[in-house]
Amino acid sequence: MIAQRALLAAVLLVVAAGRGAAAASGQVSTSRLANEVPQVRAVWQGSEVTDLFKEYNNIFRHGNRNAASHLWVHFLLERSEQMTNTRLLNLFGGFCAVSGSPVRPSDFNRYKLTLDRVDGSGKVAGFMHYCCWPCVCDTQDFIRVDTRRVATSDGEKTYNFAVIGNPCDHEEELSKPFQDAVGRGMSMLRKDAPEVRCKDGVLEGAPLSDHGYVIIGMFFDAPAALNAPTALAVAGPGAEQPGRMTEVGGAKFQDEREYEAMCEDRKRNGYNSGMGEIFRRVASISPVQIPSALSAIAGASEVHVSGCDSSLSGSCKEALPDGQAAAKGATGRLVWSESPGHKDDEL
């Protein structure tokens, strides 16, 4: 029974990993939920983050930038065809995805994080530039990774992006009063995050990822060593030391693990630093739900499970507690290998 359960778990992990690799290489077509971001005709000459900063008042027209990094993203993507890949990446480093604050990217404000992909295919390591360390904690709790194909002057390329759920799924939450975490009395998100605006359930100005999530920033590629099985032994050895720089594959950064204790302390104190609860409240309205291991079967052509029949009796039933019902909605096929022959069960 234990062996059967382990076998099935291994099968599902292999399927999920395979689907992730295939999707990354373009071998598997995914459901494209990314919305269109029309290109602007006017030529924009900006090439440095300081040029992006000068557009602040054109980007944020209804108030401040709190929890509204999607508008920075929109500005860049609607001009992407004017830019080389290098120029686009450089400009995406010019703002904090969590707070929306303008940022001058540097080694010191480059943080390494390992986050879940939204399709359930596993975790991926990457970099983000922040305005301050508490953004590490908020990223770990709410931000996930998805892809979107972007046209640049160098051609089309698929990028990894930092994403959150759509707060306009429950627009009423923006008007609910709450006690401000940093002692400014009662407030509400419509006041504290005025650029988080909804229309017919859509977050205004928000570019969406391939799985339909709100893009709030770039999840910059990390050296291959940080995505290797031994990655945990590579970066940030020893006791936690916030502010310590790590170097891997020529990239210098701060590791998220250096801030574990500080994130826990911040949580105990009601998130009274960084943006307080503003971003957290926006992101928690409709958080990204990562698919279970079973749903990762979807899209695979076949999954072979030896030693089980389609009735899922005995140890096989225990290995898959919810039976075939747990796999409803998947588009693949479970092939239960029997002796002799096999049976195919469409899911």
The pLDDT of 173-186, averaged and rounded, is 82
pLDDT tens for 94-133 read: 999 999 999 999 999 999 999 999 999 999 999 999 999 9
DSSP assigned state of 288: P
- What percent of the chain shows pLDDT beyond 90? 64
How many other β-carbons are positioned within 10 Å of the β-carbon of residue 243? 9
d(CA 338, CA 155): 49
The secondary element (H helix, E strand) that includes residue 141 is helix 134-142
Please give the mean pLDDT across all residues of the chain: 79
The pLDDT of 166-183, averaged and rounded, is 89
**DSSP-assigned letters across all residues of 12-46:** HHHHHHHHHHHHHHT-SPPP--PPP-PPPSS----
The secondary element (H helix, E strand) that includes residue 8 is helix 2-25
| CA distances (Å), origin 176, targets 7, 10, 166, 168, 173 | 48, 45, 17, 14, 5
Single out the residue of 333, 335, 332 nearest to residue 306, CA to CA: 335
In a 13 Å sphere around the CA of 297, the CA atoms on its Cβ side amount to 24
